[in-house]
Amino acid sequence: DIQMTQSPSSLSASVGDRVTITCRASQSISNYLNWYQQKPGKAPKLLIYAASSLQSGVPSRFSGSGSGTDFTLTISSLQPEDFATYYCQQSYSTPPETFGQGTKVDIK
């Protein structure tokens, strides 16, 4: 299985901050990388697919980049509703599709 490792596991930030989350794959996955946001008690929500494509309805402050093994999710200006846990997921080598362990973004 391809292992997905996110860093950091958690971070504290303020409204308006630029936030970057990193996801590293244990082998090359081209751009077969998705990002999800999950709020407590809620289902995950797709933010970014194919590494850099913004899902319909997702604010443009979210962006994704990367290819191969290293990927980033950037929130250009953190908003109160963005405090959540973020997961990366690979769909290059399946089964199984695998998720990172998550990055929790909370209020500083």
Partner 1 sequence: QLQLQESGPGLVKPSETLSLTCSVSGGSVSSKSYYWGWIRQPPGKGLEWIGSLFYSGTTYYNPSLESRLSISMDTSKHHFSLKLSSVTAADTAVYYCARAMIFGSLVPYYYAMDVWGQGTTVTVSS
Which residues of the chain form contacts with partner 1 (CB under 8 A)?
1, 32, 34, 36, 38, 42-46, 49-50, 55, 87, 89, 91-102
Q: Which of 64, 103, 101 has its CA nearest to residue 86? A: 103
- 10 Å Cβ neighbour count for 81? 9
CB of 31 to partner 1, least distance (A): 8
CB of 48 to partner 1, least distance (A): 9
C-alpha span between 63 and 59 (Å, rounded) = 9
Residue number, 34 or 73, with CB nearest to partner 1: 34
Residue number, 12 or 94, with CB nearest to partner 1: 94
Residue number, 16 or 95, with CB nearest to partner 1: 95
Residue number, 14 or 81, with CB nearest to partner 1: 81
Q: How far is CA 69 from CA 6, 40, 44, 74, in A?
A: 12, 29, 23, 17
Q: Which of 85, 103, 88 has its CA nearest to residue 29? A: 88
